[in-house]
Amino acid sequence: MSYWELFDRANRGRRWTYWTIAALITAAWIGVLAFHMLTGSPLVSVSPMLGTDDPSGTLAGAVVGGLAGLAAVAIVAKLVAGRARRREAEAPDED
């Protein structure tokens, strides 16, 4: 069963919650990106982490942020799918 099939089976309240959280995260990301574009400085500097003193660590920040985001999405998707499978296994058959 795919993620979207599980998502379609969720009740309306959960779907609203999901889309609300997704919209808030997107708005926060746009706000952080706008801050960076307007001021030229990132919220968290990753240059010392990578061993360079170059203040223009935008590419490094994008790589680190992208990897962290991908890891977070993968973990959440795995947790949601596992919870849905457990619920489906616990539900009585309607036969």
The reported pLDDT for the residue numbered 5 is: 76
To the nearest whole percent, how much of the chain has pLDDT over 90? 17
Map out the domains of the chain as residue ranges.
Answer: 3-90
Residue 46 confidence (pLDDT): 57
Q: 3-class secondary structure for the chain?
A: CCHHHHHHHCCHHHHHHHHHHHHHHHHHHHHHHHHHHHHCCCCCCCHHHHCCCCCCCHHHHHHHHHHHHHHHHHHHHHHHHHHHHHHHHHCCCCC
Mean pLDDT, range 55-78, rounded to an integer: 82
**pLDDT tens readout for residues 11-35:** 778 778 888 999 999 999 888 888 8
